[in-house]
């Protein structure tokens, strides 16, 4: 079970593609210690109830490094709780506990990096590419590019095995492939990209993006043929699902029995991207103090078992994030069932590139 904890809604950046860009300046909520501890208890109990043997505690935000003390406290609490459950024979000695952080990378210091190394953290670093590419969207509250604040950390983060997450807006397309190559040359062995679907992508922009994807795919293939360790999620995820004949929802999406997202006020959501402390939020699954709303969980399970009507007969539907990712549906159409024409176009284009790559 992956327990994703939104430690704070605050962030020291104002990225142009942030989900919260309209409201970031007035997002002040932080998770208090009682909620943090109760969330970890809930995560462990849910893991045990699903008879799973691995609890991942993921620290998320806003920017979680604004709460370094809470991260350190949460790690200590989770370790003590798991040790106690082992002593009580509620879990076996083969039970694993691990930690993840999703960060913009601007607030690390040596002591915290040492802590991450000691606790074997998995680090997901939002880094779009070199300064001229990264700073297009990732800006500080006073409008500066944030690359300089991350740059000095890059060698250490590479050593710690961080995954670089690069977001693609319409303004990034022209320098995308060279930025992915740059990230790989810095030593990142795992890179993933995500498109900022803003409803404004034009046909020409998608064609340019397709050219960049082809270049990235070719580069990735050459690296792999040369025996290099290099995971490029953008390309590899699509190929993997085809080769393994797996469905995205079963393989890459862990909603329901694989993830719990917890907001600062303890409200529970299906995954990290739904999390909000707003009381009227859709897809709320309960609260760590009052338990799960099984009716809401069932609704989500039913959705995960059904196909979208609009996608009937589409050959790539089980590899398409518009069809398979509840969150992409929610963010681009406002519902779980909706289909965004923009994402549909993107998914067809990317699947074609990936399929051609393996057929060659
Ligand atoms: S770092 Fe993340 S949370 Fe902060 S502004 Fe950027 S996208 Fe939003
Ligand atoms: S709904 Fe989407 S974002 Fe959430 S876990 Fe599934 S694939 Fe990931
Ligand atoms: S490519 Fe389009 S039609 Fe096919 S599954 Fe995705 S959203 Fe549906």
What pLDDT digit, counting tens, does each position of 14-33 carry? Answer: 999 997 776 666 778 999 99
Contacts 24+ apart (CB under 8 A), 288-293: 288/35, 288/38, 288/39, 288/41, 288/42, 288/262, 289/35, 289/38, 292/46, 292/268
Closest alpha carbon to 320 in 229, 254, 248, 246: 248
Distance of CA 139 from the midpoint of ligand 1 (Å)? 9
Contact of 57 with 97, CB cutoff 8 Å: yes
| Percent share of the chain, pLDDT over 70 | 99
Dist. CA 33–CA 328, nearest whole Å: 31
Residues in the chain: 360
What is the CA angle 237-239-245, rounded to 5?
Answer: 100
pLDDT for 296 equals: 86
Strand 54-60 versus strand 96-103 pairing type: parallel
CA dihedral in degrees (274, 280, 282, 286; nearest 10)? 80
> Quick one: which ligand is closest to 12's CA?
1
Tell me the pLDDT tens digit for each residue of 294-310: 888 888 888 778 889 99
Determine which residue's CA is closest to atom 3 belonging to ligand 3.
Answer: 311
| Average pLDDT, rounded, for the chain | 93
Residue 355's φ and ψ, nearest 5 degrees, are -65, -40
For residue 131, the tally of other CB atoms under 10 A from its CB is 16
Full DSSP string of 303-333: HHHS--GGGTT-TTGGG-HHHH-HHHHHHHH
pLDDT surpasses 80 at 252: no
Question: Could you tell me the two tokens for 285?
Answer: 């699954």
Q: What is the pLDDT of residues 49-74, one digit of tens each?
A: 999 999 999 999 999 999 999 999 99
Token look-up 């082992």 returns 86
Tell which atom from ligand 2 comes closest to the C-alpha of 271: 4
Distance 209 CA to ligand 1 centre (A): 23
In contact, 190 and 184? CB cutoff 8 Å:
no
Section 154-172 average pLDDT: 98
Q: Which ligand is nearest to the CA of 255?
A: 2
What is the longest distance spanned by two Cα atoms in the chain?
Answer: 61
Distance CA 44, CA 38 (A): 10
Quick check: helix, strand or coil at residue 232? strand
pLDDT at residue 251, rounded to an integer: 79
**Pairing of the two strands 190-195 and 163-168:** parallel
278 has pLDDT over 90:
no
What pLDDT was estimated at residue 22? 65
Distance 175 CA to ligand 2 centre (A): 27
Between CA 158 and CA 108 the distance in angstroms is: 14
Give the tens place of pLDDT for each residue, 114-142: 999 999 999 999 999 999 999 999 999 99
**Tens-place pLDDT, residues 197-246:** 999 999 999 999 999 999 999 999 999 999 999 999 999 999 988 888 88
pLDDT of residue 331: 87
Cis peptide before 62 (omega within 30 of 0): yes
Report the alpha-carbon distance of residue 63 to residue 101 in Å, rounded. 10
Per-residue pLDDT band for 34 (boundaries 50, 70, 90) equals: very high
Q: How far is the CA of 154 from the centre of ligand 2 (A)?
A: 27
CB distance 249 to 261 below 8 Å: no
Q: Which pLDDT score is estimated for 250?
A: 80
Q: Which residue minimizes the CA distance to atom 2 of ligand 3?
A: 344
User: How far out from the chain centre does Cα 276 lie?
Assistant: 15
Q: In angstroms, rounded to a whole number, what is the distance separating the alpha carbons of residues 325 and 248?
A: 8
Mean pLDDT over residues 312-321, rounded?
93
Transcribe 45-90 into DSSP letters.
HHHHHTT-SEEEEEEESS-GGGGHHHHHHHHHHHHHHHHHHHHTTS
- Reference 52, options 82, 10, 19; nearest CA is 82
Domains of the chain: 2-307 (3.20.20.70)
Site to probe by mutation for ligand 3, drawn from 325, 347, 350 as the one with most ligand atoms within 8 Å of Cβ, is: 347
- Judged by its nearest atom, the ligand closest to the C-alpha of residue 343 is 3
């Amino acid at each position: 079970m992956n327990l994703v904890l939104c430690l704070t809604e605050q962030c020291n950046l104002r990225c142009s593609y942030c989900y919260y860009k309209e409201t970031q300046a007035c997002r002040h909520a932080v998770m208090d210690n009682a909620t943090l501890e109760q969330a970890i208890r809930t995560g462990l109990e849910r893991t045990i109830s699903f008879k799973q043997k691995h609890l991942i505690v993921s620290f998320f935000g806003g920017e979680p490094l604004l709460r370094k003390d809470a991260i350190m406290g949460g790690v200590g609490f989770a370790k003590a709780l798991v040790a106690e459950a082992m002593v009580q024979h509620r879990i076996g000695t083969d039970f694993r506990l691990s930690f993840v952080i999703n960060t913009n990378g601007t607030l690390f210091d040596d002591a915290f990096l040492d802590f991450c190394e000691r606790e074997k953290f998995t680090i997901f670093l939002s880094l779009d590419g070199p300064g001229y590419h990264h700073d297009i969207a990732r800006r500080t509250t006073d409008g500066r590019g944030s690359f300089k604040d991350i740059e000095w950390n890059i060698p250490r983060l590479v050593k710690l095995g961080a995954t670089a997450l690069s977001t693609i807006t319409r303004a990034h397309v022209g320098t995308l492939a060279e930025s992915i190559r740059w990230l790989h040359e810095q030593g990142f062995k795992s890179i993933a990209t995500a498109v900022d679907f803003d409803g404004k992508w034009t046909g020409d922009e998608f064609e340019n993006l397709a050219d960049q994807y082809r270049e990235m795919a070719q580069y990735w293939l050459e690296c792999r043929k040369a025996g290099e360790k290099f995971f490029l999620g953008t390309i590899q995820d699509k190929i993997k699902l085809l080769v393994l004949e797996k469905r995205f929802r079963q393989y890459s999406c862990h909603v329901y029995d694989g993830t719990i997202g917890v907001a600062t006020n303890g409200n529970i959501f299906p995954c990290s991207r739904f999390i909000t402390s707003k009381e009227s939020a859709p897809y709320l699954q309960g609260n760590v103090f009052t338990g799960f709303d099984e009716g809401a969980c069932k609704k989500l399970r039913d959705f995960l078992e059904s196909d979208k009507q609009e996608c009937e007969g589409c050959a790539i539907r089980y590899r398409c994030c518009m069809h398979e990712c509840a969150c992409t549906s929610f963010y681009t159409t406002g519902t779980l069932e909706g289909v965004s024409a923009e994402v549909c176009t993107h998914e067809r284009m990317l699947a074609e590139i990936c399929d051609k790559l393996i057929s060659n």
